[in-house]
Structure 1
Amino acid sequence: MPRFVFALLLVAVSVFGSKAAGAETVTAARKTERFDLRADRTGLEYRIFLVHPAEPPPPGGYPVIYLLDGNATAPMMEKTIAQHPPQPYGSAVVVGIGYPIDEPFDILRRYRDLTPPTPPELIPPSRDGTSVIETGGRDDFLAFLETQAIPAVESRLPIDRRRRTLFGHSLGGLFSLYALYTRGDLFQTYVAADPAIWWSGQAILKEQGAFLDRTAREGVPSGTALLIETSGKLVERALPPADAERLKRLRSGQTGREVAAALSAVPGLRLAFHQFPEESHGSMLPLAVADGLRFAFGQNPD
């Protein structure tokens, strides 16, 4: 098992408890509720990790942070909150949108949920070399978030609907940008950690172009904020030479840095960009989660 994945498992067990611990655990007086939802449009199951703050809600309701790949990222954010004084981060409702598995990531499900329909020639080789990668479910997943996940959270806790944050890493970062470009009113704060801009021949740049045209005329909803972060070190997968060369070609093109530069002209957008020069795509994840928490409370990364 890769060291990074093993570390994630240790964090998940220490913060959220093992499966045998039941549906609810208590960590530093913040209650973690775990429940499953079946998506109306697809019939697919999702696991929701909902962390209840220990303190009473602020006058306008709790700020809320939705994290994609929630099996892995929600425990990371809870660890960050536990390392800081309760205020202001202790008022955050943390919502991990994950899958009904015991592992940190469901690789094949996330390919489907976080991507546009992708031509076969633009789909990278699977990690095991045999799995079939399905794509094109991002609109179904966005509908699930809007019509089921968010209402389920807001039926359980008083939420400040003006302080919703969406965090995603890699394909999740790509999805965060897509949500901003197409449904910028659904969340106020978006975090795209090492977004996979390269996916499907950089198809996201078409939505970006339409977003830039629209916002040049209309701006963005008041309070909209975006944090883009990138890694600095490339760790290549062990693949046969032909697959490695193909993957290298697919991953070429613009990165989060170029996207941030293009979006700097958007009127009214609070934009921040940060790079981790000494971190890889995987090792930056817990650091980006911590930055996402701070950014949701108005603080840019150092």
Structure 2
Amino acid sequence: MLRFATTVLLVAFSGFGVQAAPVEIVTAEAVKEARKVESFDLRADRTGLDYRVFLVRPVEPPPPGGYPVIYLLDGNATVPMMETVIGPNPPDPYGSAVIVGIGYPIDGPFDVLRRYRDLTPPTPPEFIPPSRDGASVIETGGRDDFLAFVETQVIPAVETRLPIDRQRRTLFGHSLGGLFSLYVLYTRGDLFQTYVAADPAIWWNGQGILKEQAAFLDRTARAGVAPGTALLIETSGKLVERPLPPTEAERLKRLRAGQTGREVAATLATVPGLRLAFHDFVEESHGSMLPLAVADALRFAFGRTPD
């Protein structure tokens, strides 16, 4: 259910609750040509939870088949990053991209507890890491509700506002969002054509995603994937340890053991017809790679493989 819509804003991102880069003074004529952001809140039909959707409208007219669209999870944080990459005078073809951020009605960049719920399968307590504050209760198991919300409410809301090319949809997620991107590819691969999984949390739930991966591999072994399906997996190279008591630190280390995006990419290389790319940010951490991965998502959505 649509609850309210805010006024269209120039891309200054003051309303996103994240710090933007310094903005230069521009002429009135230049302002007229700036990409614009609007935001609106949606209440999920299945759960009654509220979300904030950020929609960036291109200035240029749509291509004959409609605009390509990139859906970004953690939209409060990732939409400003994407618009910084695209810039006020984007080179072709990036100016034609519609950017959609799926986020939360908050002032900050991340709603950590909500994203745990939205991006994960039901997870036994023994597989749930300690919360960052040591006190919050982490709820899991909402990924199918969230996927239904994206499919039945967010995508239609975007496509009633702008002419969209339904054969050029991209989904980007980082960490648990990257895990969710893989889950969508494995179970609903027709919903998007391009998937980006940045440092996906393969370890979550005892590497439970590998079961969906095995079913996906079995299903696509002969027929392959739909034409045009593409996947970019990126990983970080530097581990930044969270300050935790020794017993909790050891437990977190055990939970995070096992396969990473690198091994998953190697396995998926056997899928017929899948345009697959892998990139390792050797000098970046899990957090510092995020804006770089967002930039790569834009390029990959237009058929360009990261360096």
Task: Give the TM-score range, shorter chain.
Answer: over 0.9
Aligned to 1:202: 207
Q: Deviations over 1:86-117 (max 9, x none)?
A: 31100000000000000000000000000000
Give me the whole-angstrom Cα distance separating, in 2, the residues matched to 1:252 and 1:27: 51
Aligned to 1:15: 12
- Give the CA deviation at 1:31: 1.3
**1:121 counterpart = 2:118:** no
**1:284 counterpart = 2:289:** yes
**1:188 counterpart = 2:185:** no
* Structure 2 unaligned residues grouped into runs of 5+: 1-9, 18-30
Supply the AA of the counterpart residue of 1:16.
F
Aligned to 1:242: 247
Supply the AA of the counterpart residue of 1:246.
R
Give me the whole-angstrom Cα distance separating, in 1, the residues matched to 2:12 and 2:258: 38
TM-score by length of 1: 0.92
TM-score by length of 2: 0.91
Aligned to 2:231: 226
- Give the CA deviation at 1:121: 0.5
CA 1:192 to 1:84, structure 2 compared with 1: closer, same or farther past 3 Å? farther
Aligned to 1:173: 178
| SS state at 1:293 partner | helix
**1:32 counterpart = 2:29:** no
Question: Which structure's residues are more often helix, by fraction?
Answer: 1
Give me the whole-angstrom Cα distance separating, in 1, the residues matched to 2:172 and 2:165: 17
Supply the AA of the counterpart residue of 1:29.
A
Give me the whole-angstrom Cα distance separating, in 2, the residues matched to 1:14 and 1:269: 35
Supply the AA of the counterpart residue of 2:115.
R
- Give the CA deviation at 1:85: 3.3
Aligned to 1:3: none
Are the counterparts in 2 of residues 167 and 292 from structure 1 also a CA contact under 8 Å?
Answer: yes
Give me the whole-angstrom Cα distance separating, in 1, the residues matched to 2:151 and 2:294: 22
Are the counterparts in 2 of residues 232 and 280 from structure 1 also a CA contact under 8 Å?
Answer: yes
2:270 to 254, 257, 265: 265
- Give the CA deviation at 1:218: 1.9
- Give the CA deviation at 1:15: 3.3
Give me the whole-angstrom Cα distance separating, in 2, the residues matched to 1:282 and 1:40: 32
Give me the whole-angstrom Cα distance separating, in 2, the residues matched to 1:179 and 1:15: 32
After superposing on structure 2, the runs of 4+ consecutive aligned residues of structure 1 that deviate more than 6 Å are none
Residue identity (%): 82
How many residues were matched structurally? 285
Supply the AA of the counterpart residue of 1:75.
P
